[in-house]
Amino acid sequence: MARPRMLTVSDSEVQMVQLVLPTDTNRLGNLLGGRLMEWIDIAAAIAASRHTHRVCVTASVDELNFHHPISQGDVVILQASVNRVFRTSLEVGVRVSRENLLTGDRLYTNAAYLTFVAIDDDGKPVPAPPIRPVTKEQKRRFADAARRRRLRLVHRKRA
């Protein structure tokens, strides 16, 4: 029987694109933070499920900073992939950029790290398959994910 191949970060990559419509904005014409958080969660959940072939539920979201506003009419580009797998949990990173369709200008606006747990049909956590980073950037994110997890666990003990 052949061993299953080790999954790579590329196997989980997701690119999601959203057009910012008037119903997505605040009174200043900028994207609502909650709407962006929803899109980040969806992109990350797809990446987690693509990796595990399971339903994955959000366990936590790290700090989210809004570096630049995103305006009505802009396109939001969300790039998500699994950074690291622990046992039943996995960290997914999401990079957010905005694009002005009239000028073609793109600008990085946000990054977020989310923790997901793979669950079985009874809603119980199950082990997630390991991941193999290939590129230098993927290896850096893999190492950084371990440091972030240690901080999450310390924070959880204090709560």
Res 1: pLDDT: 46
Please give the residue range of the domain that contains residue 121: 7-158
**Which pLDDT belongs to residue 140?**
96
- Residues 69-123 pLDDT 10s: 999 999 999 999 999 999 999 999 999 999 999 999 999 999 999 999 999 999 9
How far is it, in rounded angstroms, from Cα 45 to Cα 90?
A: 11
- Which two structure tokens, joined as six digits, stand for 45? 């959940």
**Residue 153 resides in a domain:** yes
Q: Give the mean model confidence (pLDDT) for residues 33-47.
A: 97
Domain of 86, CATH number, reads 3.10.129.10
Task: Report the SS3 class of residue 122.
Answer: coil
12 touches 131 (CB < 8 A): yes
Residue 130 carries which DSSP code?
A: P
Residue of 13, 89, 87 whose CA lies nearest to 46: 13
Domain total in the chain: 1
Using the 8-state DSSP alphabet, how is residue 15 labeled? E
Determine the 3-state secondary structure of 95 from DSSP. Answer: strand
